[in-house]
Amino acid sequence: MSALAQTKAEESIASNKLQTTPGKRGYAENLYKISGFPNMDPSEAAKKAVNSWYSSVKSYNYEAPKATGFSQVVWNATTQLGVGVASKDDITVVACTYSPRGNVVLQNGNPKDLYYYFSRNVFPPTNP
């Protein structure tokens, strides 16, 4: 998974575009671009990306779920994660790959599947 993520980060830097891989595949991707920080530490870049994706938890509606970077980060059925970071000049791209893919919206074309899959994979925060 990390090799896929690294390749995606490098392709994104080379093309100067953030675009997820089209088509159906067994994994999902989150992409994040950071500008204005030359020589950014890869660990810091990854942390910034995950914090950004996760931050939408504040506005996430568990009763009317939708696919977001947050929902992919916390998708319960995902068991593998890959992280790739690539930089050029003052731009850094972080790519994360997830398998099995999350944000499953429909199975068998049934719109009711949306709530079914999200309710079993994206849980409201709990208080410790």
pLDDT tens-digit series, residues 21-80: 877 788 999 999 999 998 899 999 999 999 999 999 999 999 888 889 999 999 999 999
pTM attached to this predicted model: 0.89
Least confident of 10-19, 55-64, 98-107: 98-107
> What is the DSSP code string of 57-75?
GGG--SSS----HHHHHH-
For 24-39, what is each residue's pLDDT tens digit?
788 999 999 999 998 8
For residues 29 and 95, what is the distance between their CA atoms, to the nearest angstrom? Answer: 7
> Which residues are paired to 98 by β-bridges?
28, 81
- pLDDT in the model for residue 97: 96
Beta strands in 1-128 (DSSP E): 28-35, 80-88, 91-99
With vertex at residue 10, the alpha carbon angle to CA 6 and CA 12, rounded to the nearest 5 degrees, is 115
Closest to 2 (Cα-Cα) out of 78, 81, 93 = 81
